[in-house]
Structure formats: C-alpha cells, structure tokens
A = this chain, B = another copy of it.
Amino acid sequence: MIGAEIEHLIKLLARLPGYGPRSARRAALSLLKNRESLMQPLSQALAIAADVIVECPLCHNLDTVSPCSVCANPARDLGQICVVEDISDLWAVEKTGAYKGYYHVLGGTLSALDGVTPDDLSIPHLVSRAAAPAVHEVIVALSATIDGQTTAHYLSESLRMADVTVTQLAHGVPIGGQIDYMDDGTLSTALKSRKAV
C-alpha cells in the first residue's frame, strides 16, 4: 500500500520520456531519499521554468525572454537562418558553437502518414522571414529521414521566390564512424559527395 501522494508522483514521473511505471517508482524513491538536495529544488525549478518560459515570436524557440536570447543578440549574423525541426535540434546546433546566425523552429516535419501538412508548421512564417533583404542563406538542418528530406525539398520550393540560397547539412560518414558499420545509403552518399583531401 503506497501513499496516494507517492502514487500520484509516480504516475506523473512515468509520463517523462524514457520512463515507465517501474523506472518511475525508482525515480520517486530516489527523489524521496534526496528530499532536500533534489526533490525540492526540482519542484521549484519546474515551477519557475513553467512560469517564465515563453515561445519566441520570431524563431519559436523557448526562452525566459521574448524575443529569445538568440534573436535578441545583435552580434549574430543577420544573413543566415538555420531551419530546425524542434528546439532540441536548435540546442544541439547551438552547442557546437559553429553557427552564429539565427534560427527558425518548424515544430515538426511534413508527414503524409501522421497527417502533418505545411499549414501545421511555421513554414509561411519562415518564408516571410526569409524575404527580409538582409537574409541571404537558409540552412536546412533537418533529419536525414524520409520526412526530413521531403520537408527540406518542400522548403526549397517554398523559398524559390525569396532571394536566398537554400543549403542543407552535408551527409556522410559521421566523425568516428567505422566504414564497415555504415549502411549502404550513407556510404553511397559519402562516396558521391567525396572531397579532395
């Protein structure tokens, strides 16, 4: 017989990505055991973040300020917009430190199976942003999946009228990747896109 409060907590924890009923029980117990060092801080961090985080009206990123700290940074390159599927992808690109332009979060990819149409994504907004005179390149950083590539193709069509170059991430063998573990698609793409050493 577990207390109703713990049961409720376990049920909520089980809805976190990667958690199920069993791991949520484990997490609840670990939280209860680290009440002061983890449980109370986490509760406060959740409440604060839920309270102050807003969606950026420009790039659809999430931040405590609006527009977000990337869009509000005047030191960044006005000429580039990097299109990503989700905020986690924005975080991943940002973490590399290799990109200094602005972003645009689509909120998903086109998908015939899941019934995601261009109207469900922030594509019209991207087209109007790309029409700004300062923008000269739109970098499509979408996953190398069927849906990602379909969306990339649709984007390049949509941006035909805007005076921008549409580029996409290079495909090839990942750094540290072993040739004999690569799939045929990756290897043949890497072969076709080979570069002079």
A interface residues with partner B (beta carbon < 8 Å): 1-6, 8-9, 12-13, 15-19, 23, 25-32, 34-35, 38-50, 52-53, 62-65, 69-70, 73, 86-88, 91, 94
> For A91, what are the chain B residues with a Cβ–Cβ distance below 8 Å?
2, 25
Q: Which secondary structure dominates chain A's binding surface? A: helix
Q: How far is the CB of A20 from chain B (nearest CB, A)?
A: 10
In the bound complex, what is the Cα–Cα distance between A40 and B53 (angstroms)? Answer: 13
> For A2, what are the chain B residues with a Cβ–Cβ distance below 8 Å?
91, 94
| A47 touching B53, Cβ below 8 Å | no
In the bound complex, what is the Cα–Cα distance between A49 and B69 (angstroms)? Answer: 35
Partner of A1, one of B5, B19, B70: B70
In the bound complex, what is the Cα–Cα distance between A132 and B29 (angstroms)? Answer: 30
Q: How far is the CB of A104 from chain B (nearest CB, A)?
A: 16
